[in-house]
């Protein structure tokens, strides 16, 4: 059977001080990374951002950092691994995915990530803090009434009973007792915005305009759209899906199913973290999944892919 590779680009929540260590182990990529507008996009020096948790998890800094990290790792790997059949990104990772697909250059994507973050931050108020909460053990239908009662929404659906909900922090806190009484297991997420909910609606138009002004190149592979799991391979569809996903529910469960339906046999998550590869492995055990964080070296990743894709 011919092996088909998918690349997975993660979102926020797992960033750490070692974010660029693997990519920087390649001298060429380290030099290239130094030329990318990472510090300009973040508004602080890279060492400062990586060593201060308050900065590392600040939305305006986290988004460009995560995009830069994924693209840097891919730059170090792409000439030594099989050509992917498709790429999928989780939340801000969907923007990274367009770099993997060759549609936009890294420097532009890092700047777009900063634009996206600023537009989302403009939808928040210090008096009404926002956040996300992971809810496992309950289906969407089981929690819907409680969410409506507390003005909350499903931001991301990762599985039948694996959800990310979002809204104002006070409303999330008020809903916690009810969710636990229903049998949910709750895990806070280190984010400052209720991504993929209606609270982000005012960020859609400005980000859509920024995307429209970008010059897209030909895609080398399709990108799975997070809100619909359809394969995107042109600018018009990319602009629509990337802007809408800021304020609409991400159906990551459907994206994982779309990978299986496309005949994907191997998947590599670019990091940080390994949540996407764990979820895909659990939902579709026939797909061999790893994250770059499982390896000590770039060479180790290349050798694993060679074995899986021979």
pLDDT tens by residue, 107-134:
999 999 999 999 999 999 877 899 999 9
Q: What percent of the chain has pLDDT over 90?
A: 93
Average pLDDT for 173-190: 94
- The CATH number that domain 5-123+198-308 falls under is 3.40.366.10
Question: What pLDDT does residue 216 have?
Answer: 96
pLDDT band at 310 (very low <50, low <70, confident <90, very high): confident
Start-end ranges of CATH 3.30.70.250 in the chain?
Answer: 130-189
pLDDT of amino acid 26: 96
Q: What average pLDDT is seen over the chain? A: 95
183, pLDDT greater than 70: yes
Q: Decide if pLDDT at 1 tops 80.
A: no
* CATH topology classification for 130-189: Alpha-Beta Plaits (3.30.70)
CATH 3.40.366.10 location in the chain: 5-123+198-308
pLDDT, tens digit, for every residue of 226-262?
Answer: 999 999 999 999 999 999 999 999 999 999 999 999 9
DSSP-derived secondary structure for the chain = ----EEEEE--SS---TTTTHHHHTSHHHHHHHHHSSHHHHHTS-HHHHHH-HHHHTSHHHHHHHHHHHHHHHHHHHGGGSPPPSEEEE-TTHHHHHHHHTTSS-HHHHHHHHHHHHHHHHTT-BTTB-EEEEEEESS-HHHHHHHHHHTT-EEEEEEETTEEEEEEEHHHHHHHHHHHHHTT-EEEEE--SS-TTSGGGGGGHHHHHHHHHTS-----SS-EE-TTT--EE-SHHHHHHHHHHTTTS-EEHHHHHHHHHHTT--EEEE-SSSSHHHHHHHHH-TTSEEEEGGG-SSHHHHHHHHHHHT-
């Amino acid at each position: 059977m011919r092996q088909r590779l998918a690349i997975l680009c993660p979102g926020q929540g797992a960033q750490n001080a070692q974010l660029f260590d693997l990519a920087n182990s390649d001298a060429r990529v380290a030099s290239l990374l130094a030329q990318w507008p990472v510090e300009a996009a973040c508004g602080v020096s890279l060492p400062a951002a990586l060593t201060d948790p308050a900065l590392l998890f600040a939305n305006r800094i986290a988004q460009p950092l995560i995009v830069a990290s994924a693209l840097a790792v891919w730059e170090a790997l792409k000439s030594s691994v099989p050509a992917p059949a498709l790429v999928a990104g989780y939340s801000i990772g969907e923007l990274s995915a367009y770099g993997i697909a060759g549609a936009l250059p890294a420097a532009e994507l890092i700047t777009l990530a900063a634009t996206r973050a600023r537009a989302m931050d403009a939808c928040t108020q210090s008096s009404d803090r926002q956040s996300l909460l992971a809810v496992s053990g309950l289906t969407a239908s089981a929690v819907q009434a409680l969410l409506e009662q507390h003005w909350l929404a499903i931001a991301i659906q990762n599985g039948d009973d694996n959800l990310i909900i979002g809204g104002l922090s006070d409303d999330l806190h008020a809903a916690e007792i009810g969710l636990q009484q229903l049998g949910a297991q709750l895990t806070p997420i280190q984010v400052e915005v209720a991504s993929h909910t209606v609270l982000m609606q005012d960020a859609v138009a400005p980000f859509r305009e920024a995307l429209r002004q970008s010059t897209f190149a030909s895609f080398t592979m399709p990108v799975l759209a997070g809100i619909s799991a359809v394969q995107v391979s042109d600018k018009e569809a990319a602009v629509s899906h990337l802007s809408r996903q800021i304020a609409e529910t991400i159906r990551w469960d459907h994206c994982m199913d779309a990978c299986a339906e496309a005949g994907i046999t191997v998947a590599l998550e670019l990091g940080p973290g390994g949540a996407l590869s764990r979820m895909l492995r659990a939902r579709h055990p026939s797909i061999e999944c790893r994250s770059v964080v499982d390896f000590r070296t770039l060479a180790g990743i290349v050798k694993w892919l060679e074995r899986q894709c021979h």
